[in-house]
Structure 1
Amino acid sequence: MSWWEDIAIGTRRELGSYTFTQDEIIRFAQKYDPQIFHLDPETAEETMFGGLIASGWHTAAIWMKLAIADREKSKAAGNPLQRAGVSPGFEDLKWLKPVRPGMTLTYSNEVIEKVALKSRPDMGIVKSRNEARDENGTVVFSFIGKGFVQRRPKEN
């Protein structure tokens, strides 16, 4: 496992791609975000979106799914994983463009900052820019994630 000190700013990972289907968009919305433009294709045509769109929370949930799958794939390949802990939250969440049935998004993660913690000298925070891009390369979803990562123990 890699320590906070081993993580390089600028490290970028492609997490994978996902195609949103009409049925999945509707099922997710029925359970978690029952707004009409996520539920009913015909009625959604009359909204400001002009048709059915995925919930922003659905696009975020797919990011999480792909991030975990990428971590497991990296672990299976024998690559060192971050000594990561929980996340204290995120910043600057943006849903920039509607995600429609049939769209394929490609998700990525890039380390943009590392913060040493005075209150927890055994931990640091890694900030990463997370994005989903459509088939044309346009960013449709983004946020800055933060995660605690263990620091290398100081030698006595």
Structure 2
Amino acid sequence: MIYKGFAKLIELSAENPLNIAAAMGHVDFVKEIIRLKPVFSREVNQEGFSPMHIAADNGQVEIVKELMKVDIKLCRLEGRQKMTPFHHAAIRGRAEVVEIFLGSGSVSTGSLEVNAINHTGITALDVILLFPSEAGDREIVEILRSAGAMRA
């Protein structure tokens, strides 16, 4: 009932409903979609974004946490130009998302390759140093370096 208008939006869209819910920040709807269709969490749309890419890019911390419950490897899912949600979080200065990916019991540095190289041959640390974001850069650099991140 609460999502009547949202359900109509999904009906009119060819987009994965989990992508839409993640973009709009609807945590409860994300939980319900994951419960009903967890496979949606792994789908990459035509633009090369998964729900985790979208949530990480937008700094949707609670949605990132819910998606991590489905599979911690979703933070490594490659999208357009081999960019991972981890790259997107670093580029956008989403320090709390980066921290979730790297620690606090969710993902060990062994399961998330902090030195993964994207299609242009740079790491997440390179990205944040070469292309400063609007906020969180210093904190992200510290988080990455403490996790063993290096420049390419």
TM band (smaller chain): under 0.3
Structure with a larger share of its residues in strand: 1
Larger RCO: 1 or 2 (CA < 8 Å, sep 6+) = 1
Say which one has the larger Rg: 1
In proportion to residue count, which structure has more helix? 2
TM-score, normalising length from structure 1?
Answer: 0.22
